[in-house]
């Protein structure tokens, strides 16, 4: 799919189990679907990592996944970034930097009470402390 009428669901995956990765994304997908807004969910590529065990092949698969995620971002209007996590979010921060260079709208969820890092503050169009408010803000860009 090559239209930009969709949202990329950015969030920590490193160190998280599949349920943690998918739970908030499934909620966001369901809520956005109510307004006919499509999503790009990077967890659909998680099985790539289960298929290959050889180190060299794993590096190639990792490069492929990153390239495909960056294409998803480029093909989206909005990036919904859920950083409300105790897991590492290095990849997510890299995705935000990439999205910023593509002039994407970035709606970020920060962990309640945690200071917003200056880079996250700079890259984000809007910052919220809960997913529900961030989803509603995301919907506003499609009205």
CATH domain 6-140 topology = Rossmann fold (3.40.50)
Mean pLDDT rounded to a whole number for the chain: 89
pLDDT at 59: 75
Place 1 in a pLDDT band, splitting at 50, 70 and 90.
very low
Examine the pLDDT at 125 and tell me if it is beyond 80.
Answer: yes
Domain boundaries, the chain: 6-140
> Which of 77, 84, 97 has its CA nearest to residue 131?
84
Question: 48-100 pLDDT, tens per residue?
Answer: 655 555 555 677 778 888 999 999 999 999 999 999 988 888 899 999 999 99
Beta bridge partners of 79: 8, 106
Instruction: Please give the Cα distance from 123 to 15 (Å, whole number).
Output: 24
Report yes or no on whether pTM surpasses 0.85.
yes
Phi-psi region of 15 (alpha: psi -120 to 50; beta: other; left: phi over 0): left
């Amino acid at each position: 799919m090559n239209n930009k009428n969709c949202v990329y669901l950015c969030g920590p995956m490193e160190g998280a189990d599949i349920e943690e990765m998918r739970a908030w994304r499934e909620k966001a997908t369901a809520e956005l679907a109510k307004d006919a807004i499509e999503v790009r969910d990077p967890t659909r590529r998680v099985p790539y990592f289960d298929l290959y065990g050889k180190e060299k092949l794993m590096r190639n698969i990792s490069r492929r996944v990153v390239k495909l995620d960056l294409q998803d971002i480029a093909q989206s209007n909005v990036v919904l970034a859920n950083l409300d996590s105790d897991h590492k979010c290095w990849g997510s921060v890299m995705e935000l930097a990439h999205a910023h260079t593509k002039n994407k709208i970035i709606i970020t969820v920060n962990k309640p009470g945690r200071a917003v890092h200056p880079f996250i503050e700079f890259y984000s169009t809007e910052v919220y402390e809960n997913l529900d408010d961030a989803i509603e803000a995301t919907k506003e860009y499609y009205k």
